Structure 1
Amino acid sequence: MAKATASLSMAYRLHVASRVLAALACYGLTSLISIVLALIWPIPQAQAVLSSIMLSFAIYAVLIMWVFSVKSLRTIWLTLVVSSALFGLLAWMLLPEAGV
């Protein structure tokens, strides 16, 4: 068992750690997506919030599966950063206090 763990290179360990961090970063993106969904759905506010929160569980699961299925770390991080920036900007623009 010790030989199997010792044979893993440091680059491989960093690769896996980066994917785990990206999976954790998906939580922030999922939160931003659910905020935007709650703001744009044309249903009563309480129902929109609850619906977007329920949908966020599925979104988070899909994002985590996507993080571990894409081959390029650059693609993963670039997509997460750009998507988070876009959804963050969209959420900020849609908030009622943003116009003040």
Structure 2
Amino acid sequence: MLRYRLSVLSRVVAASVGAYAVTSLISAAFALALPWVTGASRADAVMLATMLSFAVYTMVALWVFCVRTALRAWIGLGCVAVAAGLVLLGARVLG
């Protein structure tokens, strides 16, 4: 019983804090990479990234509860965070 409750708690933390962190990284990377890829203005890129962040946060939070275990959710969040961080770093270096 305690194991189940801790698993649910871990998923809730992953869905709230982890999804927020991943969404922030993804939207920042998208806002920096979009002008470089498409030539859009920086203001348009920030606006689009901000609007898309609401959908990304919702999808990530739902996904956390769809995976089989809480550990897989944390591993998935970590992989996405590393990938978004690398894109963010690359966009900063190239931009």
* TM superposition score normalised by structure 2: 0.86
CA drift at 1:93 = 1.9
CA drift at 1:11 = 0.7
**2:2 corresponding residue in structure 1:** 10
**1:52 corresponding residue in structure 2:** 49
Matched residue count: 89
Of Structure 1 and Structure 2, which has the larger fraction of its residues in helix? 2
Q: Which runs of 5+ in 2 are unaligned?
A: none
* Displacement over 3 Å in runs of 4+: none
> Considering only aligned residues, what root-mean-square deviation do their CA atoms show, in Å?
1.3
Which amino acid in the other structure matches residue 2 of structure 2? M
**1:26 corresponding residue in structure 2:** 19
Structure with the larger RCO, 1 or 2 (CA within 8 Å, 6+ apart):
2
Aligned partners of 2:56, 2:79: CA distance in 1, in Å? 17
Counterpart contact for 2:33–2:88, Cα < 8 Å: no
Aligned partners of 1:61, 1:74: CA distance in 2, in Å? 20
Counterpart contact for 2:22–2:80, Cα < 8 Å: yes
Q: Provide the secondary structure at the position in 2 that maps to 1:71.
A: coil
**2:32 corresponding residue in structure 1:** 39
CA drift at 1:92 = 1.5
